[in-house]
Structure 1
């Protein structure tokens, strides 16, 4: 078993990883297009990753490693170079998110990570007390990589419920908020992504203690992710899953239909122009 090399501090870890990936692919006599077909990921994602522009998930790296016959070498290098990009307690959810065919989420305070712009994500992550600039950079890169699940040939369904206050809560300056709300409007151009707004005027209190998400997987029980002030909790316990489903149902019943929700987002976006 080869030992992963220590990264050159003058070269970004993702560039090192991408170069090694490309070396193995060429050795296996595979084009990016052919490899993407074997992996069932998009060719553009393969290209971005080989150029060091995306942080690949474990699922992506395992498929890449298997396809090029690297015998685990690339997966070990990936783990060595990207360790610390996400909190340990969150990594289990990232794996679940990769395998889910449908995701349902509720957020009372800010836009969820799967729909954040890079600038918005940077400001949210920088709010963590004691975090270093290097940790911020790694965490933002990892968050942007999560969004690559929508680049797959068959991306998951995503249904998001947002508290209306998110549209008006300033995260950064007007430009950051303007771009973030435009990102929401662009996201729903995909038939696989839906966003509904829960109006503040209704005074709904369900879910105000924190956000949560539900992942539906083929052949497996649903999993839930529950946020807290310090860390999140991932569970497949039937009582937890049932409780989160019940909360989601209450919130969705209170939410505006998508076409009305999009008008609310457009109205808020104009205020940030």
Structure 2
């Protein structure tokens, strides 16, 4: 293998770069010609072919269209977008995709699988020193995870959120209005439930941090625990049992579904009037 050639087996990004170069060369296009067709810079196309830059979904879709492809590149997108996630989180994305049921508790933010692009972008932008390019990469990865709800048989998703989540104006009033409208729309999904834990409860066992419990078919269940730095993923039985008990304790305080929906609608009206 020449020194300037990629090993497609070395990473999903390398596989994409090698495939893009192969297709471009087969159509007798120079790097500059392809860049002109898809309206990206030649330097970016070259960096993506060398696997030193990660393409956005728009880049992949434009390549598919301009090269007359039938999914040869877009089929690689899930691999690339998962790679956009932090290394410590990638094992959880695999678990998430295999889960039959996901039960989550969030005391601070709307769960990632229920976030709108505007809300997620505002959350991700809050990381100290993060570049906008990196924010967009992480946003693409987060939105890609949400495709699991479009599967023929998506997992059951049971979300508990603290009422304070509805009051925290992440991204401003318009972003929150769109986010709350999205929550109400998702509540109509037959496999998604959202319950609000009222502020009046005061202290609960879940105030120290959010978590997700994944119930897997034919394997140990797993949990994801949020921390101030990197999250923790574990399938240790003692940890899973302890977190499951915590979830049940929090759910006992939650509003019923119809009351939770009314609480969200009341907050939506407040954001509409701001």
Where on the TM-score scale, by shorter chain, does this alignment land: which range?
0.7 to 0.9
1:199 corresponds to which residue? Answer: 198
Distance 2:260 2:85 in 1: 32
Q: How does 1:52-131 map to 2 (within 5 A)?
A: 56-58=77-79, 78=80, 82=81, 85-131=84-130
1:181 corresponds to which residue? Answer: 180
Question: What TM-score does the superposition give when structure 2 sets the normalisation length?
Answer: 0.76
Cα RMSD for the two superposed structures: 2.7
Deviations 1:180-212 (A, max 9, x none): 000100001111000000011011321111100
Q: Provide the secondary structure at the position in 2 that maps to 1:92.
A: helix
Q: How does 1:151-190 map to 2 (within 5 A)?
A: 151-190=150-189
Q: Provide the secondary structure at the position in 2 that maps to 1:272.
A: helix
1:179–1:13 Cα change, 3 Å: closer
Q: Whose radius of gyration is greater, 1 or 2?
A: 2
Q: Provide the secondary structure at the position in 2 that maps to 1:138.
A: helix
Distance 1:163 1:141 in 2: 26
Q: How does 1:18-29 map to 2 (within 5 A)?
A: 19=63, 26=70
1:139 corresponds to which residue? Answer: 138
2:57 corresponds to which residue? Answer: 14
Deviations 1:78-135 (A, max 9, x none): 4xxx575211111110000000011000000010110000000001001111111111
Aligned length: 228
Distance 2:43 2:243 in 1: 44
Deviations 1:7-51 (A, max 9, x none): 85445443565547998975xxxxx8xxxxxxxxxxxxx9xx83x
Distance 1:217 1:24 in 2: 39
1:239 aligns with 2:260: no
Q: Provide the secondary structure at the position in 1 that maps to 2:258.
A: helix
Deviations 1:234-255 (A, max 9, x none): 0000110011001000000110
2:225 corresponds to which residue? Answer: 226
Q: Provide the secondary structure at the position in 2 that maps to 1:230.
A: coil
2:51 corresponds to which residue? Answer: none
Q: Provide the secondary structure at the position in 2 that maps to 1:91.
A: helix
Comparing 254-263 with 17-26, which one deviates more in the overlay? 17-26
Deviations 1:143-192 (A, max 9, x none): 11110000111111100000001111111211001000001000011110
Distance 2:252 2:128 in 1: 36
